[in-house]
Amino acid sequence: MADNKREIVEKMKAKTSKGNNQIMLTWCDNGTVDGKFMEGVVYSLLTAGLPITSAQRVQGNQIGRQRDTAFDTWYKKTDFDWILWVDSDIVLTNEALQKVWDAADPIDKPVVSGTYFISKQMESSIMQPFPALFTAHESGDKYVMSYVHPLPPNQLIPIDYAGFGFLLMHRNAANKIREFHGDKALFVETDTANGDGRDRFIGEDIQFFMNMKEAGVPLYGHTGATVKHMKRFAYDEEFYKLYWITMLNSQEAQAQEK
C-alpha cells in the first residue's frame, strides 16, 4: 500500500512540475540543413513559449552513430528532463509543438511523436505519402509493420514505431531503456536477434523503438501535430496537371457551398 501511495505521489509531482522542466532541442545533419528547417527552429525557439532552453547539433554521415551520440550526450551529460528530436528537413510550427507538449506526460506518455509524411517513391514525380507512424503487423513478425493509414484526424494514439523526425522524449523513458539494455548502442541499423544467424537491415529509428518496446516504454503518436517534411521532387507535367486540377476542384467545391 505504501508503494502504491508513493507511486501516486510521484506521478502527481511529475505532472504538475512539467511546465518547469527544460527541453533540449536536438538534430543530426551531414553538414547542411534545409533553410525551412532552420526558419522553423529559430521561430519556435523565439515564440513557442515552451521551455526549450538548449540545443545540440550532431554532425556526421552515419545517422545511427549520430543519434547514439545525441542520446548519450543528453542523458549522461545534461540534466534536461526532455529531449525534442527534430530532423534537419522538418519544419516546426508552434501549433504542432504545443500539441505534442500538451500530450506528453513524464509517467504515462513519456514519448510522443508528431506526424510527418514519408514516401518510398523518393524520386517519383508525384510521391505517394504515408505518415511516419507505424503499428506492429498482425502476423507478429517484428520485421513487418503497417502504416497508420488512413490517418485518424487530430488524435493521440498508441503506436509501435515512428520516425525520429519530430519526437519528444522524457528522461523517465531513457531511465527504463538504460536499466533494461545497459550501455548498448540503441540505434544500430542491423539486427541479428532473430536467431537464424542472418543480419537484417532495420532503420536506426525503428531499431530504437524495438529496444524501447522491450524495455516496456509506451509510444504515442499525435495525428494532429503535423509538420512539413522537405523533400525533392520533379516539377513536371504530371505535377502541373495534378496541382491545377486539385485547385479547380477546390474552387468548384467552394462555389457550390456559397
From CA 77, how far away is CA 69, in angstroms rounded? 11
Among residues 67, 86, 103, the alpha carbon closest in space to that of 206 is found at 67
Question: Prior bond to 106 cis, omega within 30?
Answer: no
Q: What is the pLDDT of residues 110-132, one digit of tens each?
A: 999 999 999 887 666 677 889 99
From CA 72, how far away is CA 63, in angstroms rounded? 14
Predicted local distance difference test score (pLDDT) of residue 175? 97
SS3 255: helix
Q: Determine the structural domain holding residue 224 and report its residue range.
A: 2-257
Residue 162 has pLDDT above 70, yes or no: yes
Q: What is the pLDDT of residues 208-253, one digit of tens each?
A: 999 999 999 999 999 999 999 998 777 777 777 887 888 898 888 8
Residue 15 has pLDDT above 70, yes or no: no
* Domains in the chain, number: 1
Grid coordinates given for 206: 525503428
Q: What is the pLDDT of residues 57-90, one digit of tens each?
A: 999 999 999 999 999 999 999 999 999 999 999 9
CATH number at residue 230: 3.90.550.40
Q: Which residues pair with 57 in a beta bridge?
A: 27
